[in-house]
Amino acid sequence: MDSHATPVPMSVPWASAASVTCLSLDAKCHSSSSSSDSSCHTDSANTKLRHIAYTQRCSSRWTMLMTVLLLLLPLSFTPAHSCGPGRGLGRRRERNLYPLVLKQTIPNLSEYQSGASGPLEGEIKRDSPKFKDLVPNYNRDILFRDEEGTGADRLMTKRCKEKLNVLAYSVMNEWPGVRLLVTESWDEDHQHGQESLHYEGRAVTIATSDREPSRYGMLARLAVEAGFDWVSYVSRRHIYCSVKSDSSISSHVHGCFTPESTALLESGVTKPLIELSIGDRVLTMGTNGQPVYSEVILFMDRNLEQMQVFVELHTDGGAVLTVTPAHLISVWHPERQQLDYVFADRVEELNYVLVRDAATGELRPQRVVRVASVRSKGVVAPLTREGTIVVNSVAASCYAVIDSQSLAHWGLAPMRILSTLQSWMPAKDQLRSSQQAEGVSRAEQQNGIHWYANALYKVKDYVLPRSWRHD
């Protein structure tokens, strides 16, 4: 986890460019006055006019040039090599993968916790409405036993199919000539326990085509690397893997809050996130861990119709934060006196989060006493200049998906710089009221992910190792 404080907003070195130009022109004028004082005074008015016009042109060109360079800056870095068995750019970096041992599970949680495959959502039968959500897998690199002869073992959720195909590719790379064998997928004959994800098409039982037990420990490790949400080396005969439901991740694998969650404005008014506007100054957490008010510069996501699974964190002080699983939450480690950012679905009971004290206004650690999973309608994700926000009195990041607050904050730097440049526009005082009205309009009209955030989400799979991402 990222233990570094949020970086101090970068300085803007090009802001002094116009001043340097002014000084150089004035210097030339003064040097000329020593030789021809009357000539300089005669043309002083024209010189000033030319000087102002030249300075304005330079300032405008500098602003345009630096804006373009900063927007292109993320593209100039060499992408990181892929660490997993899936897609990547360039030659894959070698890693030492250690096989699982018998009875080991990853993660070391109950399969039904939100940090693993999540809660049961109900059995799917052939006449169920959800049956159409199951998809067949005809990957030629996978062998399906299909003892029933009904094709049931080929049916699974989209997420399960995606992870299984990645695993099949890894198996062929690890053991040439050996293929992945699926012995059980969707189960319609009730051959498993009462609470089994096989009934939802979210689980597979796998082995290798040669049935060599000595490979199964490494097969389990490859399944973890392929992205299965829960993997168990359950017996010497097979490996069990399961995934989160498609509805729990849907299109929102990033981080959001519920629309009815609240933020505290600088005026002292508590406002639901659905009513926030661009330009509002809300309570956030500064780099020193203290409360500070910061401007909302955009909404990374705003969708009031999306049904979403949220993680609900309850503290011993009564605070309740409802947030998507991939969102970063600030967690305080008293034994190390260290603040980390942790994915919401990996926050555990007895962890400490920072909560605003109503009496003092300071952020104080409170113990998490309950972690639950709930479904709710609507998602809102405001981005502040500080990169953090206090929601329902709990300090959280504005970022999600990657487990580094500092890297995510750097990635959104172009948007902060663009917002700063817009604030420097001429006659900003006269335009302030109209800009605020425009900010309200943009927030109300937005339905979906902000274009820049969407671009970052799309490239993350190619430039970041899987161990850095919430998959």
Which residues sit in the known binding site?
A: 147-148, 153, 183-184, 187, 189, 198
DSSP reduced 3-state for 353: strand
| Helix ranges (DSSP H) in 229-310 | 246-249
∠ at Cα 31 (61, 18), nearest 5°?
Answer: 20
* Location of structure tokens 């940090």: 115
Match 């986890």 to its residue by tokens: 1
Which alpha helices (H) appear in 354-400, and where do they start and end?
Answer: none
Write out the binding residues for Zn(2+). 198
Strand order in the sheet with 239-242: 105-106, 230-232, 239-242, 203-208, 180-184, 142-144
Q: Are 110 and 116 in contact (CB under 8 A)?
A: yes
- The DSSP string of 163-188 is HHHHHHHHHHHHSTT--EEEEE-S-S
**Is the Cβ–Cβ distance between 192 and 115 less than 8 Å?**
no
Q: Which residue ranges make up the annotated binding site for Ca(2+)? A: 147-148, 153, 183-184, 187, 189
How far lies 422's CA from each of 67, 293, 333, 415, in Å?
Answer: 11, 20, 39, 11
The two three-digit tokens of residue 453, written as one number: 């955030």
DSSP 420-441: HHHHTSTTHHHHHHHHHHHHHH
HSE, side-chain direction, 13 A CA sphere, residue 378: 11
Residues with Cβ < 8 Å from 298, sequence gap 6 or more? 278, 382, 383, 415, 419, 450
